[in-house]
Amino acid sequence: MGRLVSLQIITPIEQTAALFELIIQKTMPATEQELRSILATQIAPPDICLCFVVALDEVIQTLETQALELADHVAIGCVWTAFSFGDRYLLTTATSSYSAMARAFEESQSIQSLFADIAQQSASEALFLIDDWNQSHLLWRSDHTTLKDNWISNHPVDQCCREIMVPFH
């Protein structure tokens, strides 16, 4: 089994539509209808295969990519993406599908910038890289966090988001 690295975006549930619109803009059009269905129902399959459009950099050039009409951008995929809905948060987890992609998640400024842009523009709370040792690395955090020290939720997704964010609060 190859390495698996994930990028996780923690988003306040009220910002779900903004996050999905940005993901739709930053992925290949073939999955737009499925993403819109997930947004409408807030019910997602365990994973959806997305091809994200990223700017070329030295690390991206080592991956198997799909050429686009834009000379300086390519589509990388399959990025296994899961959407977990809580009462307060949406946890979006984009996971590499092979070892070279895992390395690209860790080293490519283009990939990390793409996900940071999605997180920032959707008014998300934070972006983390989860390495193959399951260690969380903060890549970006909002200045306007909604995490409260005394906040408790019984929803497992919300509890997971809190556990991820608390050490970086």
The mean pLDDT value for 43-53 works out to 93
Q: Give burial (CB, 10 Å; 0-12/13-18/19+) of 66.
A: exposed
Q: How many CA atoms lie within 13 A of 114 on its CB side?
A: 26
For residues 3 and 131, give the distance between their C-alpha atoms in angstroms, rounded to a whole number: 9
- For the record, the structure tokens of 92 come out as 């979006």
For residues 150 and 59, give the distance between their C-alpha atoms in angstroms, rounded to a whole number: 42
Pick the range with the lowest mean pLDDT from 63-72, 123-132, 147-156.
147-156
pLDDT of residue 147 exceeding 70, the answer is: no
pLDDT attached to residue 1 = 55
pLDDT attached to residue 154 = 75
For residues 119 and 144, give the distance between their C-alpha atoms in angstroms, rounded to a whole number: 13
The mean pLDDT value for 134-139 works out to 91
pLDDT attached to residue 51 = 94
Instruction: Please work out, in degrees rounded to the nearest 5, the angle formed at the alpha carbon of residue 95 by the alpha carbons of 93 and 100.
Output: 155
pLDDT tens, 51-103?
999 999 999 988 888 777 677 889 998 999 999 999 999 999 999 999 999 99
pLDDT attached to residue 108 = 96
What pTM did the predictor assign? Answer: 0.90
Q: How many CB atoms lie within 10 A of CB 38?
A: 20
